[in-house]
Structure 1
């Protein structure tokens, strides 16, 4: 890879140029920026035969840390942009998606992974856990707009808040998969005592502590930034975004809780302080641009990985495509409809929210994190990478083509 470093930088530069010119050159085409960048990466990976193979099993640590940064920046951006106040009535659709839709997705994919691909129990649960969350990075195009711009409709708000919280809430199931795999690798059975330890520590403590850390950090940073001493001072939004992200994430991880939850909650708590202040708009702009740059880098590399796989003849059975389409077109939409049933929402809104569960960079992070623990068999790891990569690729194209029409359909229905 190092011998092709300069050429790789050139390819990334072209991808960044696509991002800069996309609103001008491609606005009339029914494609999204992720579709364009992944396609470009696939072409480069397929034809650039001198590039070292981007084997995810050999580069798991790099994948984990790079995708971790992208998700963190995306989470803080999502939290800052939400205008909707924290009330039960407005957040009820989000809570239902988290407590109903996501578990349905986890267990449905675990079932398919176990019986369709012959994965071990731990690997099957891991497959469900990494694919269940709606991705906060690739879903940014269907989220709410910048702070205080108005027009925060129910589908966009629900998808934004879901993507902000479900990344952290998927982690308990990732840890469950890791602990099951660890037990079986040591020749033990995953028993009731281990399950209780998982529930009390990885579910109750880590989620609760993550929420508390997020609120404390968000309120503390907001009090400092909006204090009388600093009110008239020009404070760099870049420093504040990074500080808010790293303080929340670092403190949450220090107390052994979920940093992803803490970062989103910290950003939202910061946003609710002086919520009409124009400074939030500046923070959002910085976070959005940073996220876009990092996303471009990951998407082009991901595309190159897919292209290399196709060029090298990686076997893709019909089961991979069947399960991928089943998950994206049936399991997620049905799970969404079940969760949103009974709510006072239009049918078009429910359908848009249920259908637009985009999968993406968060999946790559969770998968690399879990596999880096060293408890999963290489055979299972290869299957997991193949299935997850195809699901993400299909999601990028299906949701990239359908999202504008689905959201426009809900807006048109409201105007009637």
Structure 2
């Protein structure tokens, strides 16, 4: 990679140019920006044969940290732009997707991973855990608009809030997979004592403390930003966004809880403080720009990785394609429809929310994080990377083509209450 550093910068520059020109040149075409950037990366990876192979296992630490930053920026951006107040009537659709749809996705994919690909139980659960959460980065185009726009339709709000929360809520199952793999590697049985240790610490403690940290950090920073001493001055939105993100994430991880949950909750808590203030728009704009730049870098690199795999002749069995499309076309939509049944929603809203479960950069983070712990066999790690890469690639194109049409079918937004 080092010897091709300057050329790699040129490739990234072209990808950023795509992002700048996309609203002008490509808006009439049925393509999304992620589709365009991944395709560009695939072409580069396939034809640029002098580039060193981007091995995801050897470069696992770099992938983990890069994707972690992208997800964090996306989470804080998602939390800041939500206008909908915290009321059960408004958030019940999100709660159902988190408590019903996500577990269905986890265990259905774990079942397929165990029986279709011959994975161990730990690796199978990891496959389900990394693919179950929807992606807050690639889902930006189907989320709610900037703050204080006046209305938010149910579909976009639900997809935004789901993507903001389920990244953190998938972590307990990632840890479950890691602990099962650790026990398996040491020749031990994952018994009830280990299960209770996981449930009490990785589920109850980490989720609860993560939410608490998020609320405290969000309210604390809002108190400073909107105080009588600073509200009339121009505070740099960049500093505030980075402070909000890193303080929430750093404190949550320091007290051994989930930083992803803390970041989204902190951003939402900050948003609900002086919620009509125009400063939220500035914060949203900065977060959106930062997220777009980082997303472009990751998507082009991901495309190069896919292109190199195609050029090197990586064998993809029919099971990979079948399982990927079963997950995207059946498991997620059916799980979503089950969760949303009985709510009295318009059927088009239910179908749009259920069908638009985009997978992406969050999956890359979780997978690299888990594999970096060193408890999974290399052959299983390769299988996991292959399956997840195909699911992400298929999701980018499938949802990129279908999202505009599905969202146009939903009812017009109603005023917030």
TM range (shorter): over 0.9
Cα distance in 2 between the residues matched to 1:217 and 1:412 = 35
Q: Report the counterpart of residue 207 of structure 2 in structure 1.
A: 207
Cα distance in 2 between the residues matched to 1:411 and 1:101 = 23
Q: Report the counterpart of residue 49 of structure 2 in structure 1.
A: 49
Query: SS where residue 29 of structure 2 aligns?
Result: coil
**Does the 8 Å contact 1:348/1:413 carry over to 2?**
no
Q: Report the counterpart of residue 166 of structure 1 in structure 2.
A: 166
Deviations 1:163-207 (Å, cap 9, x if unpaired)? 000000000000000000000101111110000000000000000
Cα distance in 1 between the residues matched to 2:359 and 2:262 = 21
Q: Report the counterpart of residue 337 of structure 1 in structure 2.
A: 337
Q: Report the counterpart of residue 257 of structure 1 in structure 2.
A: 257
- Pairwise CA distance, 1:413: 10
Q: Report the counterpart of residue 113 of structure 1 in structure 2.
A: 113
Query: SS where residue 54 of structure 2 aligns?
Result: coil
Gaps of 5+ in 2: none
Q: Report the counterpart of residue 291 of structure 1 in structure 2.
A: 291
TM-score after normalising by structure 1: 0.99
| 1:68 lines up with 2:73 in the alignment | no
Correspondence 1:212-361 to 2 at 5 A: 212-361=212-361
Deviating beyond 3 angstroms after TM superposition, the runs of 4 or more aligned structure 1 residues are 411-414
Cα distance in 1 between the residues matched to 2:175 and 2:78 = 25
- Pairwise CA distance, 1:149: 1.0
- Pairwise CA distance, 1:13: 0.1
Q: Report the counterpart of residue 147 of structure 1 in structure 2.
A: 147
- Pairwise CA distance, 1:344: 2.0
**Does the 8 Å contact 2:210/2:258 carry over to 1?**
yes
Query: SS where residue 410 of structure 2 aligns?
Result: helix
Deviations 1:288-330 (Å, cap 9, x if unpaired)? 0000000000000000000000000001000000000000000
Cα distance in 1 between the residues matched to 2:85 and 2:411 = 21
**Does the 8 Å contact 1:109/1:327 carry over to 2?**
yes
- Pairwise CA distance, 1:150: 2.4
Q: Report the counterpart of residue 400 of structure 2 in structure 1.
A: 400
Deviations 1:103-147 (Å, cap 9, x if unpaired)? 000000000000000011100000000000010000000000000
**Does the 8 Å contact 2:45/2:303 carry over to 1?**
yes
- Pairwise CA distance, 1:412: 6.5
- Pairwise CA distance, 1:151: 3.0
TM-score after normalising by structure 2: 0.99
**Does the 8 Å contact 1:121/1:180 carry over to 2?**
yes
Deviations 1:324-363 (Å, cap 9, x if unpaired)? 0000000000000000000021000000000000000000
Q: Report the counterpart of residue 374 of structure 1 in structure 2.
A: 374
Deviations 1:56-114 (Å, cap 9, x if unpaired)? 00000000000000000000000000000000000000000000000000000000000
Deviations 1:204-255 (Å, cap 9, x if unpaired)? 0000000000000000000000000001111000000000000000000000
RMSD: 0.8
Cα distance in 2 between the residues matched to 1:413 and 1:137 = 23
| 1:97 lines up with 2:93 in the alignment | no
Deviations 1:349-407 (Å, cap 9, x if unpaired)? 00000000000000000000000000000010000000000000000000000000000
Gaps of 5+ in 1: none
**Does the 8 Å contact 2:153/2:413 carry over to 1?**
no
Cα distance in 2 between the residues matched to 1:247 and 1:78 = 17
Cα distance in 1 between the residues matched to 2:234 and 2:79 = 22
